[in-house]
Amino acid sequence: MSTPTVHSLWTTAAEPISKIDAPKIEYAQLSPTLIVIGAAVLGILVEAFVPRKSRYYVQAFLAIVALAAAFAAVVGLAAGGYGTTKAHIAAMGAIAVDGPALFLQGTILLAGLVSIFTFAERRLDPEVHGNRVDSFAAQAASVPGSDSEKAAIKAGFTTTEVFPLALFAIGGMLVFPAANDLLTLFIALEVFSLPLYLLCAVARRKRLMSQEAAVKYFLLGAFASAFTLFGIALLYGYAGSVSYATVASVVDGSVTTVDPALADTMGNDALLLIGMALVVMGLLFKVGAVPFHMWTPDVYQGAPTPVTGFMAAATKVAAFGALLRLLYVVLPGLRWDWRPVMWAVAIVTMLAGAIVAITQTDIKRLLAYSSIAHAGFILAGVIATSPDGVSSVLFYLAAYSFVTIGAFAVVTLVRDAGGEATHLSKWAGLGRRSPLVAAVFAVFLLAFAGIPLTSGFAGKFAVFKAAAEGGAGALVVVGVVSSAIAAFFYIRVIVLMFFSEPKADGPTVAVPSPLTMTTIGVGVAVTIVLGLAPQYFLDLAGQAGVFVR
Amino acid sequence: MENLIALLVAAPLLGAAVLLCGGRALDRVGHLLGTLLAAGSFVIAVVLFSDMLGKSPEDRTFSQHLFSWIPVEGFQADVAFQLDQLSMTFVLLISGVGTLIHIYSIGYMEHDERRRRFFGYLNLFLAAMLLLVLADNYLLLYVGWEGVGLASYLLIGFWQHKPSAATAAKKAFLVNRVGDMGLSIAIMLMFTTFGTFAFGPVLDSVGDTSEGKLTAIGLMLLLAACGKSAQVPLQSWLGDAMEGPTPVSALIHAATMVTAGVYLIVRSGAIFNAAPDAQLVVTIVGAVTLLFGAIVGCAKDDIKKALAGSTMSQIGYMVLAAGLGPIGYVFAIMHLVTHGFFKAGLFLGAGSVMHGMNDEVDMRKYGALRKYMPVTFVTFGLGYLAIIGFPGLSGFFSKDKIIEAAFAKGGTEGWILGSVALLGAAITAFYMTRVMIMTFFGEKRWQPDAEGHEPHPHESPSSMTIPMIVLAVGSVFAGGFFSIGDRFLNWLEPVTGHDHGHAPISAGVVTGATMVCLVIGVGIAWLQYGRREIPVVAPRGSLLTRAARRDLLQDDFNHVVLVRGGEHLTRSLVYVDHTLVDGVVNGTAASVGGLSGRLRKLQNGYVRSYAVSMFGGAAVIVAATLLMRAV
């Protein structure tokens, strides 16, 4: 040490700069995301190089195989113990591989898979110029009603880009609940949001409405992202790091050293509180909690119905996953600050969703408000801040996803000359004409309403139980009251379908291909299995309910 | 040997299942099959009985555990049987009289096209009744209890094409529900008090229980007994139940089912012994019913309804005896058995008369039948002598004992109860003599039936007369057989216990007084009906007579108090429901709907409004978060 060292010209500084490590990436553990993103990139290449005629088949095949493979990878990781004993932080601290992440990724992948089936459905609309068509615009870029649109329709074009877009969105969603630093969180948010904005815009029918929905969603989404980003900046200012673990350590006071460059801001609680509120707000926007819910009905109504189903299910899973991780890993030390605010949000969300849904006349808007109310119920579980709270939320998300996708898949079947007949008055007497479809929809509605023997009951019970045990009894009371209000409009639809006279010019029920049938069948099966025997899956969620830090 | 117990129930149950599910194919043999299975049950009962006689009195309790019915933590219900001397007595009575009545029904129901179904119901009744007396716990007893109620309902309404029969069945069912409610409440009370409802544990742990609880249980059991055994105030159904075919009246509404209440009280003797207040109520109910039934029986011109009044009255005797406690239990059961013989015999006789008289039931249109139906006359006459307590016949022994026991109760109570029982004996003699004279003596007062057919009274076929003869033999000899050497007392005492009480007057005096009452009753009846012409159309009669013809206004009372009262209650409840409850509910719904309508206006479709809402929301959340910390 005492021997003077010969320094080169570049290393004469007083302190040697730290060595730059090559990033260590655990490819195998990130494989679910990598497979999906890889397939999405491949999908772009398919768009570029595969002849138009075979693109649909190649894209659908690619998407389905990729999602199935990614799901297999998730199952493999879970079986390998990465959900429990081997849970750790991968990719240089950017991504967590743990129980909640794997459980949510599995849910997102399965939900994505059954959604892709509805994306690929081509038997519902009548053939146009001898070409089978799906729910998406012939050429999204053509102006609605223009000659180029007509030409595209005549040529039998379809927007096969929806498959890679959906895969990108799913890829982002897979990262979102696993993100372990604030920047990864933000990037994942954008990666899954941008494709969704686009997907909303590409409906085949009612294109203007679809585009309006997409623009609204995009503008409000960008607005919310700005809040989130600002919040991240403030948190960085507070903690001197974007890593969850570091922020958490600063919050609970176990790290006291102050980065000299941030000496003015570090440890300033105002930054922490405002930053936390803004980041949480961005996530609440994504789950559709009041007062950040207003995009939901418009977007759900305008988007192509398969996209609505996908978005309603998968986005909620991803966003709640991220919210859980943020609140449980980063901000547990602050729970006395965020719990009262979240209480208020949950109460307002449950009540507003249920109450406004009562006067809805469009089935898609009705389901949108229903999803708002459900966001409130799930928030009740989030607020429990207990392991039971986590597992109940995980279970609820899984149960809710399949009910939602199934319900929207049924909506795609009920059609008249103008496409889907979404006005409720047209659903009158559906049970007389198509008892099976109406019965299936009734099952989904009962699950939404939380009637026993459906997954909805098991989920709601788990969430409310966790909330009550977590000291949020009042929240449970409000939850039950809103459930009662919500039951009114769900059951009203059932009454409408089964006990009203069918209208003479009522819609017909299209016979779908096995794809949509699979989606609906899986939805019904999951709804009933989780309703009859929830314990196995509750246990599974319980095992998966521990976050790694 | 004990494993045969389940067969007692299984045989008729199988019969019921086969006959009721078998369909038309069994129409030709159904009645024989039903009778055979009833007889099979009786044979098993006799086998078990002889086995029981071979054992010493302490070892005479057989039990058989069939399976665990509801095995839950803290709640154990078993399907298990207990056959002791008390159950054995009932089993023999039920299966014996039951078999006789099956045989009788072969002839009586010969021309009924639903005969197979009738036998199916009879078998169902036997199975349920045997289950009732064989159960080793109150819950299983309740199953049998409801089973006999069902069978009774089905059989009263067997001729459902007659509106009166359908109504009577419904009435019996409804009134019995009140009693059944009592039994179910009693069982619940037992469960909360003792943690079980098996006879053994419940009756053994009575000593450790407060008298208040026991009184409550006792009164609920009494309510149950009142329903099933047609005791005041739940007596109103029995008269109407005579709408059922006569064999049913004989078996169910005279000999067996209606005595289930007595069984229940005697079986639960330990509870009543420890609850003197409940016991007192039992005796009062018995005494009141005894007079009530007797008075009704005096005024009825319908032979079956007169007998029904008599049944009520005789069961009143049994309940009175059962309410006396250990002094009376044995005699209650003894009277029950002898009554089973003579009352079943009387009903079968009445059925035989109706059979010969174009189903006429009005005794004013009978008369002089002794010459035309000699067997019926003799058997009915023996039953008559037995029920009025003619010395040496069955009723003499059993009723006399009850009157003695009533006096032996001691004190004012004893005097009152004894006097009532004596008075009842006199009235019994009166109304039964009246029935006898109006039916078999005097001049012919026969009337053509509604279709103009003149009656041609004739003796019934042997399938009907043989059971009548057998029952008549029982009516004559059973009482003497039981009483000589205290056979019946010694037989039952291990189960029910016995106490001689402190009779204020000697047994001889009681017997003498009973004889005097008997002579007075018969004499008055003879003066009123034997010497004078009996008008075909009933005279107006005194106020009491008219009231008694209307069953002492029981239905009027029920209508005014219960039906009207109930109607007013429900009307006011409906009013409250419509105005208050619905008002609140609809008001809430309307206000939620209104709120919904206003809130949805916020959703105006403009992104700028949405963005403002988000911004406002974010501001509120940030402010609230900061405020939380500040506070």
Q: Do the chains contact at A269 and B629, CB–CB below 8 Å? A: yes
**Chain A nearest CA to B232, separation (Å):** 47
Residue position matching structure tokens 């459930």: A483
Instruction: Centre a 10 Å sphere on the Cβ of residue B116 and count the other Cβ atoms it contains.
Output: 25
| Cα gap A134→A55, rounded to integer Å | 13
pLDDT value for A55? 93
Which residues from B are below 8 Å from A291, CB to CB? 613-614, 616-617, 620
Q: Tell me: the pLDDT tens digits for A294-318?
A: 999 999 999 999 999 999 999 999 9
Q: Which amino acid is at A134?
A: D
Per-residue DSSP letter, A313: I
pLDDT value for A5? 47
Q: Do the chains contact at B610 and A357, CB–CB below 8 Å? A: no
Output the six-digit token pair for A245: 């673990």
Q: Tell me: the pLDDT tens digits for B276-326?
A: 999 999 999 999 999 999 999 999 999 999 999 999 999 999 999 999 999
Which tops the pLDDT comparison, B25 or B399?
B399
Q: Which amino acid is at A471?
A: G
For chain A, the residue count is 549
State the Cα torsion A212-A215-A217-A223 to the nearest 10°.
-140
Instruction: Centre a 10 Å sphere on the Cβ of residue B560 and count the other Cβ atoms it contains.
Output: 11
| Cα gap B130→B88, rounded to integer Å | 10
Nearest Cα residue to B31 out of B99, B97, B120: B120
Please give the sequence-ordered ranges of beta strands (E in DSSP) within B430-534, or none if there are none.
Answer: none
pLDDT at B408 > cutoff 80: yes
| Cα gap B332→B262, rounded to integer Å | 8
Do residues A192 and A110 touch, judged by C-beta distance below 8 A? no
Band (A9; pLDDT cuts 50, 70, 90): very low
B310: left (phi over 0), alpha (psi -120 to 50) or beta: alpha
| The dihedral sign for the CA sequence B163, B164, B165, B168 | positive
Band (A268; pLDDT cuts 50, 70, 90): confident
Q: Do the chains contact at A352 and B625, CB–CB below 8 Å? A: no
The complex scores an ipTM of 0.90
Output the six-digit token pair for B516: 């005097």
**All residues at 6 or more sequence positions from A19 whose CB lies less than 8 Å from its CB, including other chains:** none
Nearest Cα residue to A168 out of A197, A192, A136: A192
Q: Tell me: the pLDDT tens digits for B440-488?
A: 988 888 888 778 788 888 888 888 999 999 999 999 999 999 988 888 9
pLDDT value for A186? 96
Give the residues across from A89 on adjacent strands: A96
**DSSP characters over A56-109:** HHHHHHHHHHHHHHHHHHHHHHHHTTTTTTT-EEETTTTEEESHHHHHHHHHHH
Output the six-digit token pair for A471: 């000291």
pLDDT value for B442? 86
Nearest Cα residue to A322 out of A171, A104, A176, A108: A176
pLDDT value for A546? 87
| The dihedral sign for the CA sequence B561, B562, B563, B569 | positive
Q: Tell me: the pLDDT tens digits for B88-145?
A: 999 999 999 999 999 999 988 888 889 999 999 999 999 999 999 999 999 999 999 9
pLDDT at A287 > cutoff 70: yes
Q: Which amino acid is at B355?
A: H
Counting Cα atoms < 13 Å in the Cβ hemisphere of A456 gives 24
A165: left (phi over 0), alpha (psi -120 to 50) or beta: alpha
pLDDT value for A475? 93
Nearest Cα residue to B469 out of B366, B368, B344: B344
Instruction: Centre a 10 Å sphere on the Cβ of residue B590 and count the other Cβ atoms it contains.
Output: 10
Q: Do the chains contact at B593 and A485, CB–CB below 8 Å? A: no
Do residues A519 and A409 touch, judged by C-beta distance below 8 A? yes
Per-residue DSSP letter, B71: E
| The dihedral sign for the CA sequence B353, B356, B357, B359 | positive
Output the six-digit token pair for B138: 């109150």
Give the B window 568-627 contacts with A, CB below 8 Å. 589, 592-593, 595-597, 599-600, 602-603, 605, 607, 609-611, 613-614, 616-618, 620-622, 624-626
C-alpha separations of A529 from A392, A407, A516, B475 in Å: 17, 17, 20, 67
A3: left (phi over 0), alpha (psi -120 to 50) or beta: beta
Output the six-digit token pair for B66: 């069939």
| Cα gap A95→A104, rounded to integer Å | 14
pLDDT at B536 > cutoff 70: yes
pLDDT value for A261? 78
Band (A6; pLDDT cuts 50, 70, 90): very low
Do residues B178 and B223 touch, judged by C-beta distance below 8 A? yes
3-class secondary structure per residue, B298-350: HHCCEHHHHHHHHHHHHHHHHHHHHHCHHHCHHHHHHHHHHHHHHHHHHHHHH
Q: Do the chains contact at B614 and A359, CB–CB below 8 Å? A: no
Q: Tell me: the pLDDT tens digits for B179-230?
A: 999 999 999 999 999 988 899 889 888 888 899 999 999 999 999 999 999 9
What is the average per-residue pLDDT within A231-239? 93
Q: Tell me: the pLDDT tens digits for A54-63?
A: 999 999 999 9
Residue position matching structure tokens 């089912």: B257
Give the residues across from A416 on adjacent strands: A419
Q: Do the chains contact at A291 and B614, CB–CB below 8 Å? A: yes
Which residues from A are below 8 Å from B624, CB to CB? 340-341, 344
Nearest Cα residue to B436 out of B479, B399, B388, B394: B388
| Cα gap B355→B363, rounded to integer Å | 14
Chains A–B, number of C-beta pairs less than 8 Å apart: 88
Helix (H, G, I), strand (E, B) or coil at A380: helix
pLDDT at B155 > cutoff 50: yes
Nearest Cα residue to B370 out of B358, B356, B360, B387: B356
pLDDT at A12 > cutoff 80: no
Q: Which amino acid is at A52?
A: R
Output the six-digit token pair for B212: 């208040």
Band (A517; pLDDT cuts 50, 70, 90): very high
Give the H/E segment covering residue B69: strand B62-72
pLDDT value for A17? 56
Q: Do the chains contact at B624 and A337, CB–CB below 8 Å? A: no
pLDDT value for A1? 42
| Cα gap A278→A271, rounded to integer Å | 10
Do residues B105 and B352 touch, judged by C-beta distance below 8 A? no
**Chain B nearest CA to A152, separation (Å):** 30
pLDDT value for B112? 87
Phi, psi of A547 (to 5 degrees): -80, 145
Counting Cα atoms < 13 Å in the Cβ hemisphere of B615 gives 8
- Mean pLDDT, chain B, integer: 91
3-class secondary structure per residue, A202-225: CECCCHHHHHHHHHHHHHHHHHHH
Residue position matching structure tokens 């609204």: A216
Of the listed ranges A239-253, A518-532, B122-136, the one predicted with least confidence: A239-253
| Cα gap B519→B429, rounded to integer Å | 8
| Cα gap B326→B494, rounded to integer Å | 11
* Chain B interface disruption, residue of A341, A349, A366, A478, most B CBs within 10 A: A341
**Chain A nearest CA to B631, separation (Å):** 11
Phi, psi of B367 (to 5 degrees): 105, 140
**DSSP characters over B205-267:** GGGGS-HHHHHHHHHHHHHHHHHHTT-TTS-THHHHGGGS-HHHHHIIIIISGGGHHHHHHHH
Which tops the pLDDT comparison, B410 or B327?
B327
| Cα gap B319→B282, rounded to integer Å | 7
Chain A residues contacting B via beta carbons under 8 Å: 215-216, 219-220, 223-224, 227, 269-270, 273-274, 276-278, 280-281, 285, 290-292, 294-295, 297-298, 336-338, 340-341, 344-345, 352, 355-360, 485, 488
Band (B562; pLDDT cuts 50, 70, 90): confident
**Chain B nearest CA to A293, separation (Å):** 8
For chain B, the residue count is 631
Is the pTM higher than 0.95? The answer reads no
pLDDT value for A8? 46
pLDDT at A14 > cutoff 80: no
Per-residue DSSP letter, A478: H
pLDDT at B520 > cutoff 70: yes
Strand-strand pairing, B62-72 and A508-509 = unpaired
Of the listed ranges A152-156, A301-305, A349-353, the one predicted with least confidence: A152-156
